[in-house]
Amino acid sequence: MLDLVIRGGDVIDGTGGARRRADVGIRDGRVVALGVVDEDAATTIDADGLVVTPGFIDIHTHYDAQVLWDPATTPSPFHGVTSVVGGNCGFTIAPVEPSETDYLTRMLARVEGMPLESLLAGVPFDWRSFGEYLDRIDGNLAVNAGFLVGHSALRRVVMGDDAVGNAATPEQVDAMTHLLGESLEAGGLGFSSSQATTHNDGDGNPVPSRSATPDELVALAGEAGRHEGTTLEFIPSVGGFNEDHLALMASMSRAADRPLNWNVLVPNAARAALAWKALEASDYAAARGGRVVALTVPDVMRTHLTFKAGFVFDALPGWAKTMALPPADKMRALADPAERRRLQEGATSKEAGVLRGIAMWENLTIVEAFAPENQALVGRRVGDLATERGQEPFDALLDIVLADELRTVLLPPLAGNDDASWQLRRDIWRDGRAVVGASDAGAHLDMLSTFTYCTSMLRSCRERGLMELEEAVHLLTDRQARLYGIRNRGRIAEGWFADLVVLDATRVAPSPVEWRNDLPAGAGRLYAGAEGIEHVLVNGVEIVRGTELTGDRPGSLLRSGRDTETVSAAPA
């Protein structure tokens, strides 16, 4: 007898091939029959009129902390995600020393927008090594989850306070390399790092990985290459690449003989030439024996900004220290006319580069306000309010923000929502030099809703006629699994794990984004479920039924070598 059979659905197997009407038989967590299945089953799912696809694979999340209190990594499975990869951008909560827990906690709160009170309440730090962290969550997962080893954590264990702002000595690089090797041997999926100027710690200083030299990064990448089934993830810069960025990514990939995916490519037809130029990083690396792949978000970026979190604002020249102040001190600083002038000068300086667009304060829209006198301002542009008040836009904005005790939620204009940008986006999805992802799920909880990217992409493909569902599913499943070498996942095939989604292709879409106070210590986050996702199975067990979790936890901890195979940087 089968454990479960899904009957009468249109099966899209993830390879990009045409759908076919078939039953899917499941036993012991794997697909064992595909076609006409006559065998009886303990459970049957009627998929008549529905589509059965592989579970979607999200390779760029920050669920390292959330998985401790939320084994389902919500809301991702409601959008059809059955496997997640955390530990991106160099930010992990292991390995760790007791002396570094405070630093790592405040860094995550600052750089990844996780409420500090939730981290303090929900992350016990009852581990030291990376392997002990993995053991801590193994057996308590609703989805499959694997984790990269973060550079900033490695640096803090080895260098302590010296990790911030200082180059490592050869001996320290050796110690980091050894620690990375131990972490990968325990099951880390690879090595991640960042040199993004938007990444600052709880004190407003550059995160530890930003002080690494190219030699250090290449040495650590090389260590990743000595372990089976590993990969590389890296943020080389914010904005375009120069020759140094290109050479560094190529060198890291070549040293590891592993693909390196860089974050993030956001296509916009107004800057189409820049998007295609960025993809040339792949050509540069290929000519030098490496493989570099862009991680691209398949939706319009809706960025909710607040002065309380300060993320993105702190990347403006001269803003980092002010944005890192405690709330009361930050409010005093923002009320000071001299400090306002200084911040405005930094935001509009040439050094701000591509971030100068943020300083077009008049274009920001207020999407949430808290003070009684601000309630009528919701939905209005700062520029219009400034004109009514006879103020400069920056002064009007800060007066509103101060009345809200920094909590005002601001939305920049949506960029790239025109037909040309969607066509560009589609062309980049299809380009072998890019892979779909960049959800950042688990991070920037008051800022981003890109965790809906799977259902958003499927809706966009349907409503805009961008591509057939078969192709879109391939780009959400098999492409990620093959890039990371995840064994027997990403497709529907006999003998492969039964990570499956049953969906209504005519209405699959994200639900509206809302605010939920459901984190530890009562903190809140942006949240959205989905429509048209009827069933989600992980290893043959249903974890989502309609809009509810079943409560089952059949997920596997994905460990390198055991659950992944080596993917070489060399062309196939």
How far is residue 311's CA from residue 323's CA, in Å, rounded to a whole number? 8
| b/e code 200-218 from CB counts within 10 Å (16+ = b) | bbbebbbbbbbbbeeebbb
Is residue 18 classed exposed, middle or buried when 0-12, 13-18 and 19+ CB atoms within 10 A define those classes? exposed
Per-domain boundaries in the chain? 57-302+415-484, 313-411
For the four alpha carbons of 339, 445, 187 and 476, in that order, the dihedral sign comes to: negative
DSSP state string for 35-70? ES--S-EEEEEE-TT-EEEEPEEE--B-TTTHHHH-
Q: State whether residue 562 is helix, strand or coil.
A: coil
Query: Using only C-alpha atoms, what is the Rg of the chain?
Result: 23
Per-residue pLDDT of the chain (572 residues; tens, 9 = 90+): 999 999 999 999 999 999 999 999 999 999 999 999 999 999 999 999 999 999 999 999 999 999 999 999 999 999 999 999 999 999 999 999 999 999 999 999 999 999 999 999 999 999 999 999 999 999 999 999 999 999 999 999 999 999 999 999 999 999 999 999 999 999 999 999 999 998 999 998 999 999 999 999 999 999 999 999 999 999 999 888 999 999 999 999 999 999 999 999 999 999 999 999 999 999 999 999 999 999 999 999 888 899 998 888 988 999 999 999 999 999 999 999 999 999 999 999 999 887 888 899 999 999 989 999 999 999 999 999 999 999 999 999 999 999 999 999 899 988 899 999 999 999 999 999 999 999 999 999 988 999 999 999 999 999 999 999 999 999 999 999 999 999 999 999 999 999 999 999 999 999 988 889 999 999 999 999 999 999 999 999 999 999 999 999 999 999 999 999 999 998 75
CATH 3.40.50.2000 fits 57-302+415-484, yes or no: no
**Is 278 within 8 Å of 250 (Cβ atoms)?**
no
pTM for this predicted structure? 0.91
Mode of pairing for the β-strands spanning 81-86 and 56-58:
parallel
Q: What is the pLDDT of residue 572?
A: 56
